[in-house]
Amino acid sequence: MAILLPILRYPDPRLHRIARPVLAVDERIRALADDMLATMYQAQGIGLAATQVDVHERLLVVDVSDEHDQPLVLINPEIIWTSAEKQTHNEGCLSVPGIYDDVERFDAVHVRALDTRGQPQVIEADGLLAMCLQHEMDHLQGKVFVQYLSPLKRNRIKTRMIKQQREARA
């Protein structure tokens, strides 16, 4: 049975750690992927990187389907192709709840990764899936989407998040 994991909240410094490669696709990684999917679905998200649950390994899960029945697990993902075109999407993040802003990303990407059996796969993504994959892969590099915003917006968001965390503890 899957376990719901606590999601780190911005500006937690652990969100900025760079994830190391997964060395073996084993039962521990499969269980972590299951836990991450359960956590993502419970939080009503469409993507979650291991970094966000304080596991600093190159693993992410996404499901952009309307029915939440098409989960993808990507282990050691890497972008191997990007489109010339870019799109601006209004993004949010489970680590920055309640905050949404426009971020420009490649319109289409091809991502090579391992699946939960350790088999290589290539995901050809565009639109929402491409945006989601890039967003989650940023987390594996220690980058949160607010870093694409102006310093003024970033500081306002940081102040708001710290205030929310203080209020939640009180």
| 53-68 confidence digits (pLDDT tens) | 999 999 999 999 999 9
Check the annotation: does 93 bind a ligand.
yes
- 148 Cβ contact list (under 8 Å, min separation 6): 103, 104
Residue with tokens 């088999």: 119
139 assigned ligand-binding residue: yes
Q: Where are the domains positioned within the chain?
A: 13-168
Statement: residue 85 has pLDDT above 90: yes
Structure tokens given for 86: 């870019």
CATH of 13-168, one of 3.50.50.60, 3.30.70.1450, 3.40.50.300, 3.90.45.10: 3.90.45.10
- List, in order, residues 6 or more apart from 170 with CB less than 8 Å away: none
135 in a labelled binding site = yes
Q: How far is CA 114 from CA 12, 75, 83, 118, 167, in A?
A: 29, 5, 22, 5, 41
**Catalytic annotation, pick one of 27, 78, 104, 136:** 136
CA distances from 13 to 51, 76, 83, 94, 115 (A): 11, 22, 32, 15, 29
pLDDT at residue 1 tops 90: no
**Mean of per-residue pLDDT scores for the chain:** 97
> Is the distance from CB of 125 to CB of 106 less than 8 angstroms?
no
Q: For 113-155, what is each residue's pLDDT tens digit?
A: 999 999 999 999 999 999 999 999 999 999 999 999 999 999 9
Is there a contact between 92 and 54 (Cβ–Cβ < 8 Å)? no
pTM as predicted: 0.96
Percentage of the chain lying above the pLDDT 90 cut: 98
SS3 22: coil
Active site (annotated) includes residue 136: yes
